[in-house]
Structure 1
Amino acid sequence: MKYSYYRVLGLLIIATSTFFSCSDDEVTSNQPIPEQPEQLTELIAQYNTNISAYQAMMDNKAEIVDYTVDNKGFYKLQLSNQQIVDANAQATEDKDIPILNIDEDGYWNYLLGGTSTVLTDLQGKPAPALSKTGKGVFTPQIALGEDGYWKVSYNGTQWKRLGNNIAPSLAEKAAADFSLYRSVTLDEEANTITLESRAGNGVLKLNTANNATTQAWKKYLMGSDDNVLLDFSYAGYHHGEIAPPDGFSLGYEVMNVQKRMNAKGLTARAALIDILQEKNLTRKNGTNGNNPNARVVIYFPAGEYVLHDEDDNGIREPEAGKTYATDSKGNNTSYSIPITGGHLVIKGDGPDKTKLIMATPNLPGSTEVMYSSPCMLELKHNSDISRMCAVISDAKKGAYTVEVDNATGLNKGDWVCLYLKNNTPELVDKELSPYKVETTMTNIIEKGVQVQDFHQIVAVSGNRVTFKEPIMHEVEACWEWEIHRYPHYEEVGVEDLSFVGQAKDDFKHHGTWEDDGAYKPLNMVRLTNSWMRRVKFTSVSEATSIINSANVSAYDITIDGNRGHSAIRSAGSSRVFIGKVTDRTDGLLIDDRNTREEGVGQYHACGVSKPSMGAVIWRVHWGKDACFESHATQPRATLIDACKGGFMQFRQGGDYDQLPNHLDDLTIWNMYSERSRTASGNSAPSGVFDWWRIGFKGWKFLPPTIVGFHGDPLNFVQEQVKLDESHGTPVEPESLYEAQLERRLGFVPDWLKALK
């Protein structure tokens, strides 16, 4: 479905008989207008937008391309010039606010204090509003001066007084009081909207059309009070605005692993560690490496490189209460390879040419802890966040600025963590609304509501800190929000290679440590503006966890071979972009252990865990016997966007004590459901998919927003969703992330178009 564009059919302006005269008491000021009263700032800003839009419509310079109307009869109009304007009816006369109008000759006038007056320019001449006057037109801005008088400007710096009466208290004014229109009438049969001016007898009659665009998108565009969509467009490497550079284009030193192997007679693992130690990128002689500006490409030319086998394991004394697994040589311990630095790229010659191999499993820390096997490679910063200052002002979702008690040490360009940890019962109750906390949810009861949202600072003014990205959780200073220092590395990439494991061919979820965690090739920890692309994972337990990071992109990825535990997740990270992942591993069905199928997928498909914020899962095709991951411990604000795959319940994950699986603002957009035909009824009993399982200590989601869910039929419990729009039918825009990014930038970036 495409937008229906409304064309302006005609303008009928009926002249008034009122005599207009210029005011002799208007005073010109060369000083900028003072800051507006807090209670009026947004109202006056919107009013000025409405004035500009009214002028554009009257002058045939803008058309209406969309509209919404709420249950109070308040309209929002989207114009072809990108303006979003209010068109609210206010029949009663209000003498306290200047109401602007354009007369039949094309000049501005205004109604204030019961008197209609010609609006004049700074030289005292009538101010032209329409191009038909043959003069340069003026677009007025209205503001309230410190002296209590209304004022007007045409350039934002020079202001004239309007009228002779000081404005009374305006604290109780609402949007309707600033309306330009006495009435707004929609005639669906005639497909017209008629706007009648409050300041004169002018009537503006506009053509409309039957609009099939999804209401959720329209309300987002127009900033409607009942909009339920967050802005996910800041996800990904450099906020989705550009693609990561190719590793070889950076001019970094290239360290060839194969040459190092040949020159020193080393194994692939030993050669890699040798390079890392040389560049101070890993442990050496008991010290941790730390090279934030390595400027190196670690290059694996085409070939196979065994980075883990039994020769890499060791022996340590068992600890009390732990049971160790041993390999064929009697070793009981495996070790990861930490890579601690920034501005580095691990690069191969392509996923079908360069293969990094785990020949044997990484042994678990304890067989009782089935996920305790170490990860083979960890790209990570070792330090954790630490408190810097307190947040002392409230901020709404979508805001960019917070006020702190002390901005010392906060600078433009810094990355910080907007942080909350508070177990006040009132806050916990609010976080879980409309549901009640359950006794099994000990994590949120004892540790409290936990938010960690990583942001980059773009401005510091006094104690006001402005972020590049919108805040995705309401900030209420009374709950003791804080800003934390965020140590991290930047510009770390992995590209053009494969990771090969030896995952079991009969995977069983939580069967043994070999099922859940034996083959984990890669983690990315505390990284910003980093990436993984053109990568394949074959027969792995877990592909990649992106942990405590921000604006990392993982895309153009294949997961194949034997089925394993999980795919790619954002774990406690902010605005991770996971896109164009094809997850088609083969294995036994979870609910029918006698049936093996192709394309069943990892048990947990791509998704989120821990306090993840703003993650985008975009155009991922996961397995038929799987579902997106939402692994509890307080993930929020996740977009599942134009994805395809199974929609099986109980594939999300999360211990009972760490539930809910997902808190507010889970958004599922244009999901195509593709369930396994031979799977038993675990996907949804009786075809109804609930989000908060009553009478069961597992399976808890706060109400999601679902738009355009289609494919294999599935119904949702309507009392458990925030919105379920266009169920069974895909909507436009096809991808919410693409549409929001295009709206923010004015175009869809080439890197994203190339992935479609």
Structure 2
Amino acid sequence: MYNCNKSPIQNILIVCLNLLALTDVFAQDKSKIFEDYKKDRNLLPDFSYVGYHQGEKEIPNVTNYKIFDVTTFGAKPNDDISDKIAIQKAIDAANKNGSGIVFFPKGRFLVNEESDATNSIISKKGNIIFRGSGSGLNGTELYMKNTLPPADPSKMWTVPPLFLFTSGGADKKIGFITKAAAVGDCTIELNTIEGLESGDWIVLKLLDNNKDLIVAELKTQQVEPTWSYLVNKGIDVKVYYQIKSIKNNKLILKAPVSYTIDPKYKWEVSKFANSEEIGIEDVAFVGNWKEKFVHHRSWQDDSGYTMLRINRTTNSWMKNCRFTDCSVAAIVLQSANISVLNCKIDGNSGHEAITSNGSTNVLIANCVDEASQWHSFGSSHGSMNTVILNCTYPSTTCFESHASQPRNTLLDGVEGGLMKNRGGGALENMPNHMQGLVLWNYKQTNEPVKDFEFWPSSKVYEYWKIPKPVIVGFTSKGTTFRMDQLGQSESIGKAVEPASLYLAQLKLRLDKLPKWIKELE
């Protein structure tokens, strides 16, 4: 058993809470796959390090920062005058201070009127709390009347977000990895560690089209010639880790590596430019998307009302937020150890819900998509270790798996549709997902499908390819699978114990569940 943090955290549940023992009315069987995993940790991806501070710390209720009330900068709720400039001034003042709570009282604030400049509202520093007075009908509403313009109208995904939380600066190349590291190892060895200190964040990068690398991931599945990125550029991995300590040229990481590192391929290491400890809380982000959504019809459909992006951010969170009438609710981009808790998407149906895009160790938990976004909660573009926990969406949509090589995505206690036409991704960036997709106690609510395929013939359907997913405890109205297309499978038709793979792995690593789990009740 590997463990990067030898001491379990001390804060544990005060009340008698053990989500691992939750059962349906009917008794559930213990998962043999999980029992085997306890003995051999290579049988499943380890999702136990996802979320804020590797799942070990409670999200803080920050009260000791200076408060920057947007109304003192000129914002006024419930009038007909834009508040966009005032909100940016409040954020700038908090950034300049080095920390702060950007606070919104109750009411509707106008954030993109005809008179406004067509730019995002941006925060580029850490230790910033963006806090409203509740995301319900009588709370704080940030109303986006008009879209922002796309960078390129022919590229339907290029509308910038209205709110962007990010970091200044750029990554700095350090060197390359000189020694092999297996999945689960917490130590990597570099040719140089000059410029790095304990506590820094790094990004490990691999881009190589060596055929052995591709075969190792896809195994028996065949590469299509139309997948030009995989064929020409190859396996693309970018993962983000924090340095726990440094010894000689060795970096001891706070979380284990999740992809086999072979130094014969060029693994580069850069110091990651990031912001930390950003919190987005108790705010309703409301767009003005009122058209009937048509996938890829226009940039307005696909990204016109993109509300929020968390970018180059680590050990941060978003909780208790609502997204209404939007094209895209929120994207966690090139970030690590982010927790998204208790959020809702409602109103008119749009393009995407909440997605981990090119990020590492992201937790999306207790979120609901009532709008039936075309792509609901999911992962894309090289994300590694994404957990979708206890989330729900309608039977009319499905999880997102948006190609460009996401890996290790866990759909854990998720309820909603399962269909092959909602993954996403262009042909040149296929397949939809690489190794490590796990459906654990997934409850499918749309009509049953006989012999559901995760790797259909391209003559039948080109836009749905996922190699050897793990399916455990799947329940439905009678769906069956092409079993030869699955990796491990168990208990198709009946839920299993543990009810949550993520929580079971977290408890296994820390010995006890941490206190913050209570928030998920």
TM-score (norm 2): 0.90
Match of 2:43 among 225, 228, 232: 228
Structure exhibiting the larger radius of gyration computed from Cα positions:
1
Match of 2:454 among 652, 673, 691: 691
Q: Does 1:474 align with 2:287?
A: no
After superposition, the C-alpha distances for 1:33-71 in whole angstroms (9 at most, x for unaligned) are xxxxxxxxx9xx9xxxxxxxxxxxxxxxxxxxxxxxxxx
Which residue is equivalent to 1:458?
Answer: 244
Which residue is equivalent to 1:309?
Answer: 113
**Aligned-CA RMSD value:** 2.0
After superposition, the C-alpha distances for 1:313-354 in whole angstroms (9 at most, x for unaligned) are 4xxxxxxxxxxxxxxxxxxxx321221111001001110110
Is the 2:88–2:122 contact (alpha carbons within 8 Å) kept by the matching residues of 1? no
Pairwise CA distance, 1:515: 1.2
Pairwise CA distance, 1:513: 1.7
- What SS does the aligned partner of 2:321 have? strand
Pairwise CA distance, 1:295: 1.1
Distance 2:442 2:102 in 1: 38
Q: Does 1:710 align with 2:475?
A: yes
Is the 2:245–2:251 contact (alpha carbons within 8 Å) kept by the matching residues of 1? yes
Letter of the 1:232 counterpart: F
- What SS does the aligned partner of 1:310 have? coil
Distance 2:211 2:38 in 1: 36
- What SS does the aligned partner of 1:627 have? coil
- What SS does the aligned partner of 2:131 have? strand
After superposition, the C-alpha distances for 1:646-666 in whole angstroms (9 at most, x for unaligned) are 112110100000011100111
Which runs of no fewer than 5 residues in structure 2 stay unpaired?
A: 3-27
Distance 1:628 1:380 in 2: 26
After superposition, the C-alpha distances for 1:269-317 in whole angstroms (9 at most, x for unaligned) are 11112223444x4xxxxxxxxx5x721110011010011122124xxxx
Is the 2:53–2:315 contact (alpha carbons within 8 Å) kept by the matching residues of 1? yes
Letter of the 2:501 counterpart: L
Is the 1:261–1:267 contact (alpha carbons within 8 Å) kept by the matching residues of 2? no
Evaluate the alpha carbon distance shift between residue 539 and residue 402 of structure 1 in structure 2; reply closer, same or farther with a 3 A threshold.
Answer: same
Pairwise CA distance, 1:480: 1.3
Distance 1:515 1:750 in 2: 41
Letter of the 2:66 counterpart: E
Letter of the 1:437 counterpart: V
Distance 2:114 2:441 in 1: 46
Which residue is equivalent to 2:327?
Answer: 541
Distance 1:294 1:646 in 2: 44
After superposition, the C-alpha distances for 1:407-426 in whole angstroms (9 at most, x for unaligned) are 22332211111211112233
Is the 1:556–1:581 contact (alpha carbons within 8 Å) kept by the matching residues of 2? yes
Q: Does 1:614 align with 2:385?
A: yes
Letter of the 2:101 counterpart: V
Is the 2:125–2:168 contact (alpha carbons within 8 Å) kept by the matching residues of 1? no
Distance 1:507 1:572 in 2: 26
Q: Does 1:448 align with 2:234?
A: yes
Which residue is equivalent to 1:414?
Answer: 200
Q: Does 1:529 align with 2:299?
A: no
After superposition, the C-alpha distances for 1:229-276 in whole angstroms (9 at most, x for unaligned) are 1210110011111222123x2x1110111232269x973111112223
After the TM superposition, which residues 96-175 of structure 1 pair with which residues of structure 2 at under 5 Å, given as runs? none
- What SS does the aligned partner of 1:719 have? helix
Pairwise CA distance, 1:452: 0.8
Which residue is equivalent to 2:25?
Answer: none
Q: Does 1:259 align with 2:22?
A: no
After superposition, the C-alpha distances for 1:624-680 in whole angstroms (9 at most, x for unaligned) are 1111111010100111111101112110100000011100111111001111x5xxx
- What SS does the aligned partner of 2:385 have? coil
Percent identity (aligned) = 34
Is the 1:228–1:705 contact (alpha carbons within 8 Å) kept by the matching residues of 2? no
Pairwise CA distance, 1:446: 2.1
Is the 1:423–1:448 contact (alpha carbons within 8 Å) kept by the matching residues of 2? yes
Letter of the 1:751 counterpart: W
Which runs of no fewer than 5 residues in structure 1 stay unpaired?
A: 1-41, 46-210, 282-290, 314-333, 586-600, 678-682
Pairwise CA distance, 1:724: 1.5
After superposition, the C-alpha distances for 1:434-474 in whole angstroms (9 at most, x for unaligned) are 22221111111222211111111112222222111111111
Is the 2:196–2:271 contact (alpha carbons within 8 Å) kept by the matching residues of 1? no
Is the 2:130–2:279 contact (alpha carbons within 8 Å) kept by the matching residues of 1? yes
Is the 2:204–2:268 contact (alpha carbons within 8 Å) kept by the matching residues of 1? yes
Q: Does 1:724 align with 2:489?
A: yes
Letter of the 1:670 counterpart: N
Is the 1:672–1:712 contact (alpha carbons within 8 Å) kept by the matching residues of 2? no
- What SS does the aligned partner of 2:395 have? coil
Which residue is equivalent to 1:237?
Answer: 52
After superposition, the C-alpha distances for 1:164-208 in whole angstroms (9 at most, x for unaligned) are xxxxxxxxxxxxxxxxxxxxxxxxxxxxxxxxxxxxxxxxxxxxx
After superposition, the C-alpha distances for 1:508-533 in whole angstroms (9 at most, x for unaligned) are 11122221111111100000001100
Pairwise CA distance, 1:382: 4.1
Distance 2:140 2:445 in 1: 32
Which residue is equivalent to 2:444?
Answer: 673
Which residue is equivalent to 2:32?
Answer: 215
Match of 2:84 among 259, 269, 282: 269
Distance 1:261 1:669 in 2: 49
Distance 1:692 1:468 in 2: 35
Distance 1:731 1:383 in 2: 47
Pairwise CA distance, 1:429: 3.1
Which residue is equivalent to 2:119?
Answer: 335
After the TM superposition, which residues 525-604 of structure 1 pair with which residues of structure 2 at under 5 Å, given as runs? 525-585=311-371, 601-604=372-375
Is the 2:75–2:87 contact (alpha carbons within 8 Å) kept by the matching residues of 1? no
Letter of the 1:642 counterpart: G
Which residue is equivalent to 2:422?
Answer: 651
Distance 1:302 1:459 in 2: 45
Distance 1:475 1:228 in 2: 18
Is the 2:59–2:516 contact (alpha carbons within 8 Å) kept by the matching residues of 1? no
Pairwise CA distance, 1:695: 2.9
Match of 2:306 among 520, 538, 544: 520
Distance 1:664 1:743 in 2: 23
Which residue is equivalent to 1:115?
Answer: none
Which residue is equivalent to 1:492?
Answer: 278
TM-score (norm 1): 0.63
Evaluate the alpha carbon distance shift between residue 540 and residue 212 of structure 1 in structure 2; reply closer, same or farther with a 3 A threshold.
Answer: closer
Letter of the 1:213 counterpart: K
- What SS does the aligned partner of 1:454 have? strand
Query: Which segments of structure 1 move beyond 4 Å, counting only runs of 4 or more?
Result: none
Distance 1:212 1:255 in 2: 52
Distance 1:456 1:658 in 2: 29
Distance 2:427 2:358 in 1: 18
Distance 1:554 1:628 in 2: 16
Distance 2:108 2:91 in 1: 19
More moved, 694-703 vs 450-459: 694-703
Which residue is equivalent to 1:93?
Answer: none
Is the 1:604–1:651 contact (alpha carbons within 8 Å) kept by the matching residues of 2? yes
Is the 1:605–1:623 contact (alpha carbons within 8 Å) kept by the matching residues of 2? no
- What SS does the aligned partner of 1:754 have? helix
Evaluate the alpha carbon distance shift between residue 425 and residue 335 of structure 1 in structure 2; reply closer, same or farther with a 3 A threshold.
Answer: same
Is the 2:75–2:83 contact (alpha carbons within 8 Å) kept by the matching residues of 1? no
Which residue is equivalent to 1:743?
Answer: 508
Pairwise CA distance, 1:219: 1.0
Distance 1:336 1:546 in 2: 16
Distance 1:538 1:470 in 2: 37
Which residue is equivalent to 2:154?
Answer: 368
Distance 1:532 1:467 in 2: 25
Q: Does 1:605 align with 2:376?
A: yes
Pairwise CA distance, 1:428: 2.6
Q: Does 1:633 align with 2:450?
A: no
